[in-house]
Structure 1
């Protein structure tokens, strides 16, 4: 409660006015509801940007008639030719290859429902710890900072994925399968003049660096000072 006394022009005092400072609302667990709403909005903004970027980059995908144009396939003449094709086609068909990798990973995950369950549980734990629970994390009487909580959660998640379950093996299998298919296509596909031109003038707006940099400010809002 703050009291303010204001003098008028004649030197007298006006009646006191009480200015109430409204406290933040908290739930039964002591978590700040306003901060919960702010973090949830930041999280939805991240996913909105991710969706918009995915839609934008998907427009750059080459048509299937061009990807599988059988007249443009041949056996590479040398190892250097393989490397040249891999580099050129990886740039030209990067959106198609990204879609292939995501689709392959999704299919492998659907065939392994246990992996989906584990990832869903981990996602819920992260959501609770960084969106629902705004109060400090206390374990054994010790209070952890945002940075310590982030690394603790990261280490625990990696331990579950790669040591306690087979989720890590499933992820590596799907990524490995994707890389084999991408390498097979890129090494056999003959780069044409358009491919060579686009390799020299890459689309910086759709680069991985540009994509990730867009999310960092909002991600920092969600994870506090941890990132």
Structure 2
């Protein structure tokens, strides 16, 4: 539990706006948080610890998916993702940040869904990546897998956390979250866990077909990568 206390202090000092600071800084935030708390069973975790890890996991998952999407997207969509990323860095308004983040997530989802439908085109695009892009791809995929593995672990205790919140909503006081926000975070984590096949199975298969060697993480406690803009 000492690790969780340290992470909570880090999270408090960083502030909510750090979540929307762009791919690179978001990766650092997600890496520092999840690296400190991964491997901790959610069934033995206090409410603060659960939500600290859940938010970091969700941030890493979203950021790594978007990084993958930027590499697999058409030039137009890739440019749009990069433009929205820059917008996140230049605005300090929380509502505007949230709106832009939702747009990024929606576009990333569209790109990744399309990449799964036309796998031959995706393999061709992967094969054509240069060395720098392949490194970015593998770093992104690494974080994508770690976030998915962590979400699976957290999902085991998600129901217990939800029941605890319903019985005692005041347990959220130290998290700074409302009950609605907390339910949203729990929903995000269970959703990631249920849809982890893309990270754990589908993309590794495509990498292999494209001749890209990917050493897939096997544990949520594996060290995440720090992603830079590309």
Interval of TM-score (by shorter of Structure 1 and Structure 2): under 0.3
TM-score (norm 2): 0.26
- Which structure carries more helix by proportion? 2
- Which structure carries more strand by proportion? 1
